Every structure is written in structure tokens, then in C-alpha cells.
Amino acid sequence: MIPEIERVLFTEEQIAQRIREVAREISAKYQGRELKLIGILKGSIFFLTALAREIDIPVKFDFLAISSFSSQKGAPGVVRIAKDLDESIEGEDVLLIEDIVDTGFTTRYLLQNLAGRAPNSLAICTLLDRTTQRIVQVPVEFRCFEIDDRFVVGFGLDYKQLYRNLSYVAILKLNEPRR
Ligand code: IMP
Ligand code: MG
């Protein structure tokens, strides 16, 4: 373990186990159909690839990158698409893959944007869900873990772009406010 880590919240094995369970739920729910996984760069890449390998129905992927700005410290960020999907999602069953749903602003923006492209269905799957910080309500259909207010890194999640490559999810030894 690296020195900047205070505590491991979810080990590599626990994450793999939950991903298998969630992949089973997803495979059952979309049985007989084809699924488009949309990964939000960069936080969701490890989760998306691990999940996709455990899903046993046909899947395709596409990726979106977003940037969020906050005009005032602590104010909700304005979300903008920095890299759009490569392909249309019209008529497809779409699962939005997130690293974490926190206030819900990012997810709500993405849901509204993608809903406007006429998919057959649209749902959210997140590795982590921090429901205590929710400001706007979003329907999270699949989640691996619920977490509390401490800032976490690893398995795709970053602090200043670092720590994404940790194989576990951990609490960092810093106590700055989030973002
Ligand atoms: P929301 O719009 O507040 O739901 O923010 C979601 C985004 O904030 C996530 O996609 C992450 O990029 C970032 N984020 C929120 N909490 C954490 C955390 O604990 N660690 C790392 N990134 C986080
Ligand atoms: Mg981030």
C-alpha cells in the first residue's frame, strides 16, 4: 500500500466480487438484447472493462468525456461534453457507466443529454454511490457500493489525476474539501 493512503475501503477481491454480482443482474435484466455501455472518461474505464468482461450478453462500448467548471467555490459545476460519443445511440439499450455519483449534477446532465438522442432505454450503473451528498435526484439502477462522505481514490477515481491505477478503492490522507 502507498503512504498517501489512510485506509482501504474495498479490496481488489471485494470489487471483483461485487462486479460479478452486478454483471449478473445486468445480464438478467437485458437478456435477449444487446447493450451499449457508455463510459464516462476517465474515471469509469477500469470499472467498465471489468464489468464488460463479466456480462454475458452482447455488449458494445462508447465513451464520453466531460469537463465541469465551478464558477464559485462549492457551487455546483457546469458540465460540458469535451469528447462526444463516436456513434449514435438511437434505438439502443444504453447503460451509462459512472465511477461515482455524488451530488448527481454530472449524471443528471448526461441523462438529459443522452435521453435527447432517442435511445430505446437508458439507465445508470455506478461503481460508487454517495447518496448522502445528493443534491439532484437521479435514478441509479445498478450500484456496486454505497460510500460515506470521505474522498476516495483508486479503481479509476483520481485526486488531481493521480491514483486512478490503484487496484482497490481507498481513503486518501488529506482532508481538503472535495474538488
Ligand atoms: P457529481 O456531479 O457531484 O455527482 O460528481 C461526480 C464526479 O465528481 C465524479 O464523476 C468524480 O469525477 C468526482 N468525484 C466525486 N467524489 C469523488 C471522490 O470521492 N473521489 C474522486 N472523485 C470524486
Ligand atoms: Mg475526477
Per-residue pLDDT of 22-64, as tens digits, reads 999 999 999 999 999 999 999 999 999 999 999 999 999 999 9
Query: CA 89, CA 95: separation in Å to the nearest integer?
Result: 11
Please tell me the pTM assigned to this model.
0.93
Ligand 1 atom having least distance to the Cα of 102: 4
How many CB atoms lie under 10 A from the CB of residue 147? 20
86, 99, 102, 129: the catalytic one is 102
- Write the residue with the smallest CA distance to atom 16 of ligand 1: 102
Q: Which triple of cell numbers denotes residue 7?
A: 485506509
Query: CA 40, CA 53: separation in Å to the nearest integer?
Result: 18
Query: CA 73, CA 67: separation in Å to the nearest integer?
Result: 16
Find the 152 Cα to ligand 1 centroid distance in Å.
9
To the query of whether residue 102 is one of the catalytic residues in this protein, the response is: yes
Cα–Cα separations (whole angstroms), residue 65 to 33, 34, 88, 158: 26, 23, 16, 15
pLDDT digits (tens, 9 = 90+) for 72-112: 655 666 889 999 999 999 999 999 999 999 999 999 999 99
